[in-house]
Amino acid sequence: MTLDHRQPPGYQWKAPDSARFLLVPAPGGLTMTQGTSTGRDEPSFHEPVLVSEVAEVFKPLTSGVVVDATFGGGGHTRRLLEEMAERIRIVGIDRDPDAIANAAGLERETDRVTVLTGNFGEMRHLLDRAGVTAPVGFLFDLGVSSHQFDQAERGFSYRHDGPLDMRMGPDATLTADEIVNQWTRSELTSLIRRFGEDKVAGRIADAIVANRPITSTGHLAQVVADATPAALRRRGHPARRTFQAIRIAVNEELSALTRGLEDALDLLAPQGRCAVISYHSLEDRIVKRRFAEGARGCTCPPDLPVCACGGGQELRLLTRRPIEPTAEEVAANPRARSARLRAAEKSAATTTEGSRP
């Protein structure tokens, strides 16, 4: 993987050692006061959601490697180790250098955890390189961590003023600044409509183009708020959907999910388990469809006269409906509100060949 070290104005990716990168204010750059980016052992790096429910999914596994494809603050990894430490080894993945830096503490505590820097969209390549074959579990806890969201200089939040960045890691090839200040009106409209599912995408795109150059996240949030009709402003922050859309595009989140999930289900050992926590309907739809397809049995095209796939069911659904957080969890951690957990088990008989057309 080639790391692209482009940086937002006033910030730079720094490498304290060869494997770790931190986004820090450049000398003479923007002066932000919202905390540091070291991420090391911060107690509030991220509050993991649906932790017990995730642990329940993986508990029946006997032994092997579980891949935590979105390591973040390592909350799920820690819980799985508490429940199953004698039986499993965890290979974490994260594309964010802050999460990798944060993982170093846990890697020092136990030899049962290894964390890889990379994009789970390249799952097969990452695991091949690390010599991991046939994991017994995969966990995807999608989206951004609280650490990323709360660091103004990362540019994810409409609540803080920071640079228009939104890259989860330096491997992303786009920044929010390029989208906001260079994309055409029609490209912006379609982005905000598709990935933000915003009814007034055209109005917002018009306002963005009219207010260029847009210089920061605070500026963008204000432009979007001003362009949003009063009647729609009551449903949460008016810029939430636009920020979501830009973030998805910058990080190519949906294509990474489609590829990563496909690799995970293919690589998963027979009777291995895959769990995905999604936070909006675009993510959840991808997971729901892929799991349903795997649980359907014969996957041959309908015009094929004879079944060529063996008719075997690839997956057994462990959650017919997505599991949602309890009211208590949402009260304690409001960011859990939109979380939806789906899980599936790979069939005993499934082989990599023959189960899918």
Ligand X SMILES: C[S@@+](CC[C@H](N)C(=O)[O-])C[C@H]1O[C@@H](n2cnc3c(N)ncnc32)[C@H](O)[C@@H]1O
The contact pattern for ligand X, residues 253-292, with x = CB under 6 A and - = no contact, is ---x------------------------------------
Range in contact with ligand X (rule: CB under 6 A) among 73-81, 152-160, 293-301, 342-350: 73-81
Q: How far is the CB of 133 from ligand X (least distance, A)?
A: 20
- Residue with Cβ nearer ligand X (130 or 300): 130
Q: Which of 37, 70, 244, 313 binds ligand X (CB under 6 A)?
A: 70
- Give the integer Cα–Cα distance in Å for 164 and 168: 12
Q: Which of 7, 67, 96, 158 binds ligand X (CB under 6 A)?
A: 96
Contacts to ligand X from residues 141-200, by CB under 6 A: 141, 143-145, 168
- Residue with Cβ nearer ligand X (227 or 256): 256
Q: Which of 121, 162, 238, 272 binds ligand X (CB under 6 A)?
A: 121
Q: How far is the CB of 253 from ligand X (least distance, A)?
A: 6
Inter-residue contact 274 to 264 (CB < 8 Å): yes
> Residue 285 corresponds to which tokens in the numbers above?
């739809």
Is 72 one of the binding residues for ligand X (CB under 6 A)? Answer: yes
DSSP string, 215-244: -SHHHHHHHHHHHS-GGGTTSS-TTHHHHH
- Residue with Cβ nearer ligand X (14 or 335): 335
Inter-residue contact 274 to 138 (CB < 8 Å): yes
Residue 17: C-alpha distances to residues 13, 28, 38, 98, 229 (Å): 12, 23, 13, 13, 49
- Give the integer Cα–Cα distance in Å for 329 and 310: 43
Q: Which of 11, 21, 58, 120 binds ligand X (CB under 6 A)?
A: 120
Range in contact with ligand X (rule: CB under 6 A) among 25-33, 114-122, 209-217, 320-328: 114-122
State the first-to-last Cα distance of the chain, in angstroms, to the nearest integer: 30
Alpha helices in the chain (DSSP H): 51-58, 75-84, 97-109, 123-129, 146-150, 176-182, 185-196, 201-210, 217-227, 240-250, 253-267, 281-294, 327-332
Residues forming the site for ligand X (CB under 6 A)? 46, 48, 70, 72-76, 93-96, 99, 119-121, 141, 143-145, 168, 256
